[in-house]
Structure 1
């Protein structure tokens, strides 16, 4: 399976898609703003990463707006927050066969580029 969960209007996602050569011919592309992720999809991501926290973006504006940085969050909280608000999913999330790549860190993008060669 080759799939990417991204935001179509996110310049970081766009840059990573361009840099890695991901296209809609070889990848199933899901814009999480227009097509929400399902609980099953999120649970599959968690099974590959080991935690919902690893999929959670603390960069989301709502993180500060909602005062979440001052609250202790559980795995259940992370899961529900991501399902309720798409901006809490760390992006992009890329599946390449049995591997998953989450986020935009340089090392993550480099590893993704290596596997796509």
Structure 2
């Protein structure tokens, strides 16, 4: 599977897509605001990433609004929050066969760029 979960209005997602050239590699692109991720898709991401927490964005505005920074969240909480609100998914999430790349950290983007170069 070759797929990218992104937010079309996110300038960071747009920059990563452009920088890595991933949009020219024929990946299926899912805009998570207009096409919500399913429980099955999230489960697959979790298996590859190791946990729901690894997929959860603490940068989302609602994280502070809902007072989540003051709560101890469980894996079930992370799963429920991501499925309810697309902004809680750390973006972008790219799946290239058996590898997953989550978020916009420099080392992650560099690894993604290297992986994209060989497909």
**Given the two structures, how large is their TM-score scaled by the length of structure 2?**
0.96
Q: Extract unaligned runs of 5+ from structure 2.
A: none
Cα shift at 1:54: 0.3
Structure 1: which 4+ aligned runs deviate by more than 3 Å? none
Task: Give the total of aligned pairs.
Answer: 117
Aligned to 1:56: 56
Cα shift at 1:24: 6.3
Aligned to 1:74: 74
Aligned to 1:105: 105
Q: RMSD of aligned C-alpha atoms?
A: 0.9
2:15, 2:84 → 1: CA distance? 26
Counterparts of residues 1-117 of structure 1 (less than 5 Å): 1-23=1-23, 26-117=26-117
Cα shift at 1:87: 0.1
2:101, 2:9 → 1: CA distance? 20
1:97, 1:83 → 2: CA distance? 23
Q: Extract unaligned runs of 5+ from structure 1.
A: none
1:111, 1:24 → 2: CA distance? 17
**Given the two structures, how large is their TM-score scaled by the length of structure 1?**
0.98
2:110, 2:25 → 1: CA distance? 22
